[in-house]
Amino acid sequence: MTEIQNRLFELQDQKYRDLTVKLNPSIAPDTIIGVRLPQLRAYAKELIKGGLSEDFLSSLPHKYFDENMLHALILCEEKDFEKAVQEIERFLPYADSWAITDTLSPKAFAKHPDRLPPYIEKWLDSDLPYTVRFGILCLMKYFLGGLFEERHLDMVCDIQSEEYYVNMMRAWYLATALAKQYPPTVKLLEENRLDRWTHNKTIQKAVESYRVTDEHKTYLKTLKRK
């Protein structure tokens, strides 16, 4: 085993491992060590500070889920936009869990979201479900405020997928859009632009959200499809 793998096993929390196995059914249980996020985040910063992160990032594919999570957390610290994109595109084909893609949030992206659109469009067009999920997540994180364009809604609506974690992300994005960009988003529901499952899941998540007004929730419930 590598030194990093040994360290991860030293940080193992068996109860947390059991929980992680349940929450990540797409991951082989014997590849989950069970290291809690705060410990992983601290270790990621330790590797960066010690100049050991570059070698680790180049050692794809990793054997363990926790190594992939550590990889994602190292990338979260990247402040150079071009390097962040390059490293993420190299890593995304190995992302095989919602937990990994949803952890990816480079500091460079928050600083330069205006440079993301061409990459997001490419990710949304991928054949890899977790790459698509990551693209939708980026739209949700960075493009529901001042950079919002109605075409972003169309991009998410037009995704055709049978993957649960893709359609759940579509619903999450649209439910958040109902909180932040209600008029154009509710219009999509009124026009039945989505498949029934994603349509109803969007409404469910919006109704459960504290960011959607009670008035809007009452109306959204009338749009639910049987």
Question: Quick check: is 205 in a domain?
Answer: yes
- The C-alpha atoms of residue 171 and residue 46 are separated, in whole angstroms, by 36
Same domain for 49 and 104?
yes
Write the pLDDT tens digit of every residue in 205-215: 999 999 999 99
In a domain, 63, yes or no: yes
Query: Given this model, what pLDDT does residue 1 score?
Result: 63
Between CA 199 and CA 190 the distance in angstroms is: 10
Burial (CB < 10 A; 0-12, 13-18, 19+), residue 41, is middle
Residues, the chain, total?
Answer: 226
Q: Does some domain include residue 118? A: no
In a domain, 116, yes or no: no
Boundary residue ending a domain (111, 134, 160): 111
How far, in Å, are 51, 189, 196, 216, 217 from residue 223 at the CA level? 54, 7, 11, 11, 10
117 located within any domain: no
Which residues 6+ apart lie within 8 Å of 204 measured at CB? Answer: 171
Q: Which residues of the chain have pLDDT under 70?
A: 1
Q: pLDDT above 90 covers what percent of the chain? A: 98
Show which of 77, 111, 145 is a domain's final residue. 111
Share of the chain above pLDDT 70, in %: 100
The residue type found at 126 is S
Same structural domain, 97 and 136:
no
Helix (H) or strand (E) segment spanning residue 107? helix 107-111
Do residue 48 and residue 134 come from a single domain?
no
Residue 38 sits in the same domain as residue 102: yes
Exposure string of 96-123, with b = 16+ CB inside 10 Å and e = fewer, is bbbbbbbbbbbebbeebbeebbebbeeb
What digits encode the pLDDT tens for the residues 103-139? 999 999 999 999 999 999 999 999 999 999 999 999 9
pLDDT, residue 68, reads: 97
- Closest by CA to 8, choosing from 67, 91, 71, is 67
Domain assignment of residue 19, given as a range: 1-111
Give the E-state strand segments of 56-106 in sequence order: none
